[in-house]
Amino acid sequence: MKRLFYVPVVCAAAMMCSCGGNNANENAVATNDNVILHAWSWSFNTIADNMKDIAEAGYDMVQTSPANTCYVGENGGLALFSKEGDEVTGKWYYYYQPIDWKIGNYMLGSRDEFKAMCDSAHKYNVKVIVDVLPNHTAIDHTAVTAALDSVVGGHENLYHANGFKDITQWNDRYECTTGMMGGLPDVNTENPAFQYYYMQYVNDLIACGARGFRYDTAKHIGLPSDPLDAKAEKNNFWDIATGREAIGDITLSMPDSLFIYGEVLQDKNVKEEEYAEYIDQTASAYGHALRNALNAHNYYADSLGHWHHKVSADKLVTWVESHDTYCNAHESAAMSDSLVRMGWVFLAARQHGTPLFYSRPAGSTRENYWGNNRVGERGNDEFKHPEVVAANNYRHAMSGEAETVAVTDNGAVIAVARGNKGVAIINISNDAQDFELTSNLADGTYTDKVHNATFTVANGKISGTAAPLTSYIIY
């Protein structure tokens, strides 16, 4: 994998000293080193065609949108989001409405195309993560295939007894894990026949080359301690989905080789610590805090010094924005690409969390969130922006190094140092900033090779000028 290195201009004797002897870091600490590209709404063929760029941009994993058979909405139109009167119709979220659990759908591609994408990923040493959603079916549940109804013992057995009642009390765990969310009927994930059928799908994804999963609406799938639905004998879905328990003659394939995390959006009475026994989780509250700080152009506008989560940071997937914050209420869509990029560099430079980069639609602007408005096409070029690539490579190079975060008094410039090996400097303001911050780097003049900017370290301080909404990587 291609990596960029930034060499400080210091005396030759010091450089020779730093390179001699055993290269192992005797003071190494635990770090999370991987980064994920969320290739949102890219087709399997599009992901495969761009795999070289994905690998060279420093991503260890690429996350696909759901691969399951899905509801065909608006005559199969492939608009990301159409309005009345548009020539091309469609909605991105139809692939979140399963009608069967088989690989392939009209929006992203066939099983053969999925496998070819995974083969391409393997060639470039990139892991494929698939967005999976066993929790519900399409709103129009009559579209569910007859084959699926048959294997679960009839259509009524596909759903919880409470599965057609809207959730009204979101902090009530019985309603949350058995009720209907947004018109999506709630699947009886405790039905052994469904579990057996669903695990065949998961293992087929793995056989095709998938090496991880993102569980959509994970907090709506019951844990062992949660109340039982009338149709359930025990809440054992997570034991089966993570390979702790077999269902019939099927066990999760390759459980030790998979990266699995869940969309456990934070709220009151969400059992983050129990979910952490099974899967990593999304750091939704931290993403919200980070957006607050970025939008205020001030680190101190929210509390970024802790992770806003009950679970340790090494079990969290972090983001500046997700497809939901961009698409649903457009909470993050008004943020400029440059501002999002600054947040990404901050997350990627840090010691913990596994950062996920959401790929915005190609051609999108702050006035036109949908851009070219086509499912299947590649997103914009931000995923391989030089600053993003440099941050990804910095994360890999800083493996085993503890973080130190320093911030200017006005909250505009953030420095994420890793041990005494490197530092990421991020100006989140709209103005150029002259700054001086504490530093563990050796005295000398350092050059950032993205922008060829120079910074000086002397007497434990690093100083220089940071351009507006610009980041610098030095190591």
Q: What is the pLDDT of residue 9?
A: 30
Cα separation, 294 vs 402, in Å, equals 24
Residue 78 lies in a domain: yes
Residues serving a catalytic function are: 216, 263
Neighbouring CB atoms inside 10 A of 296's CB total 14
Q: Please determine, for residue 370, whether its predicted confidence score (pLDDT) is greater than 70.
A: yes
What pLDDT, in 10s, does the model give residues 121-147?
999 999 999 999 999 999 999 999 999
Residue 337 lies in a domain: yes
What pLDDT, in 10s, does the model give residues 372-409?
999 999 999 999 999 999 999 999 999 999 999 999 99
Cα separation, 68 vs 161, in Å, equals 24
Q: What is the pLDDT of residue 4?
A: 31
Which residue has 């259509």 as its token pair?
155
List the single range of 3-12, 295-304, 366-375 with lowest mean pLDDT: 3-12
**SS3 label, residue 216:** coil
Q: What is the pLDDT of residue 55?
A: 98
Give helix 386-397 / helix 337-349 axis angle, nearest 10°.
Answer: 10
Nearest Cα to 238, choosing from 219, 254, 222? 222
Residue 461 lies in a domain: no
Q: Which tokens go with 57?
A: 């941009």
Give helix 284-296 / helix 337-349 axis angle, nearest 10°.
Answer: 130
Structural domains of the chain, count: 1
The answer for 12, left when phi > 0, alpha when psi is -120 to 50, beta otherwise, is alpha
Residue 197 lies in a domain: yes
Residue 458 lies in a domain: no
For the entire predicted model, the pTM comes to 0.94
The string over 241-280, giving b where at least 16 C-beta atoms fall within 10 Å of a residue's C-beta and e elsewhere, is bbbeeebeebebbeeeebbbbbbbbbeeebbeeebbebbb
Q: Which tokens go with 269?
A: 């009475």
Nearest Cα to 281, choosing from 254, 249, 319? 319
Cα separation, 402 vs 67, in Å, equals 38
Q: Please determine, for residue 269, whether its predicted confidence score (pLDDT) is greater than 70.
A: yes
Residue 196 lies in a domain: yes
Residue 471 lies in a domain: no
Residue 373 CA to its chain's centroid (Å): 22
**Average of per-residue pLDDT values in the chain:** 94
Sequence-ordered strand ranges (E) for 394-460: 403-407, 413-418, 422-427, 433-438, 444-448, 453-458
Residue 448 lies in a domain: no
Q: Please determine, for residue 271, whether its predicted confidence score (pLDDT) is greater than 50.
A: yes
pLDDT level of residue 46 (50, 70, 90 thresholds): very high
Q: Please determine, for residue 296, whether its predicted confidence score (pLDDT) is greater than 70.
A: yes
What pLDDT, in 10s, does the model give residues 318-349?
999 999 999 999 999 999 999 999 999 999 99
What pLDDT, in 10s, does the model give residues 7-42?
333 332 232 233 333 445 678 999 999 999 999 999
User: The CATH number of the domain where 57 resides is what?
Assistant: 3.20.20.80
Q: What is the pLDDT of residue 19?
A: 32
Q: What is the pLDDT of residue 125?
A: 98
Domain extent, residue 116, equals 28-401
What pLDDT, in 10s, does the model give residues 85-113?
999 999 999 999 999 999 999 999 999 99
